[in-house]
Amino acid sequence: MADKLRILLLGSGGREHAQAWKITQSPLLDALAVMPGSDGIALLPRTRCIAGDAADKDAVLKYAASFKPDLVVIGPEGPLAAGVSDALREAGYKVAAPSQAAAKLESSKIFAKSFMMGHGIPTADFAIAVSPEDAEVKISQWDVEGSGIVVKADGLAAGKGVVVTHDIGEALETAHAFMSDPACSVKSDMLLLEQKLSGREVSAFALCDGTDFVTIGYACDYKRVNDGNEGPNTGGMGGYAPEDWPSASARAFIEKYIFRNVLEGMAAAGTPYTGFLFAGLMIDGADINVIEFNTRFGDPEAQILLPMIEDDIVPLLMAAAEGRLFAMNPPRMKAGSAVHIVMTSEGYPETFGTGMRLGETITLPPDLLAAETNDNALLFIAGARKNGDAWHNTGGRVLGITATGNDIAEARDKAYDAIRRIHFNGAHWRSDIGR
């Protein structure tokens, strides 16, 4: 490894802000470039933000040719689905991210389900609907009121393409909306109809190099927009790092039968898996099932787990890109817990084009923006931009606050103390994260 590294990070959201924040703490870093980055990321030391579309292969390759990164890290799913990681590897760059083919584990829920069934990965029973009429027939034959149903759009939907219900009318309406309604932002030619699982939900993370992996940690995410898990699904309203859970036996099962089976199955298919792997799990006693895979670090889970990692993340990312994770240990985690709370714009998640209240001036206390002087909470910017001295909201998920503590209760109190100091018209957040 070179004495000092130049790293290129693709993305602009809260996840990328957290990744950039962690990378800039590394003594191995010379310079970090982030495309397109954000005004929040631009505040970090040794960091520059580069205008451009992270999913545009030509734009990324053009900048990489001038910046000459020693390592490329890809944050969001869009560039993966567009094949940016493949183009970078073909050009000779080291990339800590999966190929386009391997990223189908996220970009096609039907592919992922078939992969799980073929490689002994535990998951819920399912059916596939290939047309609105087919969906209506299959939903009508389902015990929706009794056992519930999960209706999932096949492709990427930014966390909005999943509806869980015991109401057959809602299930039928969702299928129609996803497949036929032009007003719905989620559009899918095929649907995955899935058994509703019960238990406690958790997200498990590993960093992979095609052959080996190290576990990164576990986080519990809140998907519904309102308190009490009410309202539509979102990309995530916050979460926490659970204390002493899942159990040691459950973690051993997850590593052996989920992460290991994914790596072996992907390698056998000729599409070895490199980068972050996110397994959304439902745990009910000794029963562990995969709900879904994401082929990148989660958002907001990255904002929860990265502040909990004691070690430098850069050597692990380089080892993943170079196929050397066999020689690495999992990162050491801090004692205690972390809680993350997302603040959104009014109208989010806007599944049916209802519009969001954007352009509002945000009051951000200066100490929250100066992470190096603030020990109580970390601010990660997502959908916000700075105009002169003023910040304005530009997207649905505007920002997030992470706090760490000796336990969840302490971290939660710190996080909510910070979130209550941030103001803009229409601001919304859940008040029950970590309860």
For the chain, which residues make up each domain, given as ranges? 5-100, 125-195, 200-222+240-327, 337-419
Report residue 158's pLDDT band, with 50, 70 and 90 as the boundaries: low
Q: How much is the pLDDT for 226?
A: 97
Residue 388: pLDDT above 80? Answer: yes
Give the mean pLDDT of 283-310. 95
Rounded alpha-carbon distances, angstroms, from residue 23 to 309, 334, 359, 369, 417: 12, 17, 30, 17, 27
Q: What is d(CA 205, CA 265) in angstroms, rounded to the nearest whole number?
A: 18
Report residue 26's pLDDT band, with 50, 70 and 90 as the boundaries: very high
Report the range of poorest mean pLDDT among 121-125, 159-163, 238-242. 159-163
Q: Are 382 and 397 in contact (CB under 8 A)?
A: yes
Q: What is d(CA 381, CA 396) in angstroms, rounded to the nearest whole number?
A: 12
Rounded alpha-carbon distances, angstroms, from residue 39 to 23, 69, 318, 366: 17, 22, 26, 14
Residue 359: pLDDT above 80? Answer: yes
Report residue 353's pLDDT band, with 50, 70 and 90 as the boundaries: low
- Bridge partners of 164, per DSSP, are 150
pLDDT above 90: percentage of residues in the chain: 89
Q: Which CATH number fits domain 337-419: 3.30.450.20, 3.30.470.20, 3.40.50.720, 3.90.600.10?
A: 3.90.600.10
State if pTM tops 0.85: yes
Q: How much is the pLDDT for 373?
A: 45
Q: How much is the pLDDT for 384?
A: 97
Report residue 156's pLDDT band, with 50, 70 and 90 as the boundaries: confident
Q: Do domains 125-195 and 337-419 have the same CATH topology?
A: no
Residue 122: pLDDT above 60? Answer: yes
Q: How much is the pLDDT for 2?
A: 55
Q: What is d(CA 307, CA 70) in angstroms, rounded to the nearest whole number?
A: 24
Q: Are 13 and 382 in contact (CB under 8 A)?
A: yes
What top-level class would CATH report for the domain 5-100? alpha beta
If you average pLDDT over every residue of the chain, what do you get? Answer: 94
- The H-assigned helical ranges of 14-167 are 14-23, 57-67, 77-81, 84-90, 104-107, 109-118, 132-140, 144-147
pLDDT tens, 60-117? 999 999 999 999 999 999 999 999 999 999 999 999 999 999 999 998 999 999 999 9
Residue 227: pLDDT above 50? Answer: yes
Residue 371: pLDDT above 80? Answer: no
Residue 375: pLDDT above 70? Answer: no
Q: What is d(CA 135, CA 139) in angstroms, rounded to the nearest whole number?
A: 6
Question: Is the omega angle on the peptide bond into residue 365 within 30 degrees of 0, that is, cis?
Answer: no
pLDDT above 70: percentage of residues in the chain: 96
Domain 125-195 architecture: 2-Layer Sandwich (3.30)
Residue 208: pLDDT above 60? Answer: yes
Residue 234: pLDDT above 80? Answer: yes
Q: How much is the pLDDT for 155?
A: 77
What top-level class would CATH report for the domain 200-222+240-327? alpha beta
Give residue for tokens 């809602």: 170
